[in-house]
Amino acid sequence: MELRRLHHLLAQGLQATAALWPVLLVVAAWVRQAAHVLANHEQQAARQVQDRYQALLDQMAAQRETAGPLAPAIDHFLKVSTSYAPGLFHTYDVPGLPRTNNDLEQCFGTARYHQRRASGRKRPDAGLVVRGAVRLVAAVVTRQHRFQGADLRPPNLARWRALRQQLAQRQDTRRAQRRFRHDPDAYLARLEADLLKLTLPG
């Protein structure tokens, strides 16, 4: 009895959604093809994977109407793929670089775990906010590779100086926030005095 009732419900469901199945088959084939390209079982270089993926996106855009009521979903897929494209293919040329958000989040989570163990703090250190672009990379890379003294020499002095300047600006911003929290009235009065010096004639 129960099996006959289940069979009846399934038959009704299939009959009610029969018109959607051809569309779903088309869209599902695109999604499977995208997953296959990004899996890169052929071990192709990043440029080749990007070209194959872009060809698929072009095909989806050209045949968008075949998706029927799922066409807006295809538009969203194309939009998100385009926005992620600049950083989506580095993993195929950089050994050990995580390929998915989950793998990358696990990598960051491991770094946070070791920092908590080393510092004894449950919350992240404020220095990680200011210097995370350097500290996090160093924490991840040093577990995979042993560096020599010569490896620490900056290969590009201009980029090294720009990074140091960026870190210094973040530190100044953090310092200003601390001063404001410590004494808001004095901080605002000092800002007002500096502004008046700039606006008043000498």
In the chain, % of residues over pLDDT 90: 19
- DSSP, res 68: G
Per-residue pLDDT at 77: 92
- The residue written with tokens 């998915």 in the block is 100
- Indicate if 21 and 72 belong to the same structural domain: yes
- Indicate if 120 and 187 belong to the same structural domain: yes
- Indicate if 82 and 6 belong to the same structural domain: yes
- Indicate if 109 and 143 belong to the same structural domain: yes
Residue bearing the bigger pLDDT, 99 or 65: 65
- How many other C-beta atoms lie within 10 A of the C-beta of residue 179? 13
Distance CA 188, CA 195 (A): 10
38-72 b/e (C-beta count within 10 Å ≥ 16 → b): bebeeeeeeeebbebbeebbeebeeeeeebeebee
Per-residue pLDDT at 166: 85
- Indicate if 12 and 87 belong to the same structural domain: yes
Per-residue pLDDT at 125: 67
Residue bearing the bigger pLDDT, 35 or 131: 35
Per-residue pLDDT at 159: 87
Q: Indicate the residue among 92, 127, 157 that finishes a domain.
A: 92
Per-residue pLDDT at 109: 76
- Indicate if 54 and 11 belong to the same structural domain: yes
Residues 141-157: tens digit of each pLDDT: 777 777 787 777 888 88
- Indicate if 158 and 182 belong to the same structural domain: yes
- Indicate if 130 and 161 belong to the same structural domain: yes
Q: Indicate the residue among 34, 69, 92 that finishes a domain.
A: 92
- Indicate if 77 and 127 belong to the same structural domain: no
- DSSP, res 179: H
- How many other C-beta atoms lie within 10 A of the C-beta of residue 111? 19
pTM value is 0.57
Q: What's the CA angle centered on 95, arms 80 and 58, to 5 degrees? A: 30
- Indicate if 7 and 78 belong to the same structural domain: yes
In which domain, by residue range, is 169 found?
A: 101-199
Work out how many domains the chain is built from and give that number: 2
- Nearest CA among 97, 95, 98, 100 for reference residue 84: 100
- Indicate if 164 and 129 belong to the same structural domain: yes
Per-residue pLDDT at 190: 85
Burial class (CB in 10 A: 0-12, 13-18, 19+), 74: buried
Residues 75-134: tens digit of each pLDDT: 999 999 988 888 888 888 887 777 777 777 777 777 777 777 777 777 766 666 666 667
- Indicate if 109 and 167 belong to the same structural domain: yes
Distance CA 33, CA 31 (A): 5
Mean pLDDT of the chain: 82
Q: Indicate the residue among 39, 73, 92 that finishes a domain.
A: 92
Distance CA 21, CA 43 (A): 34
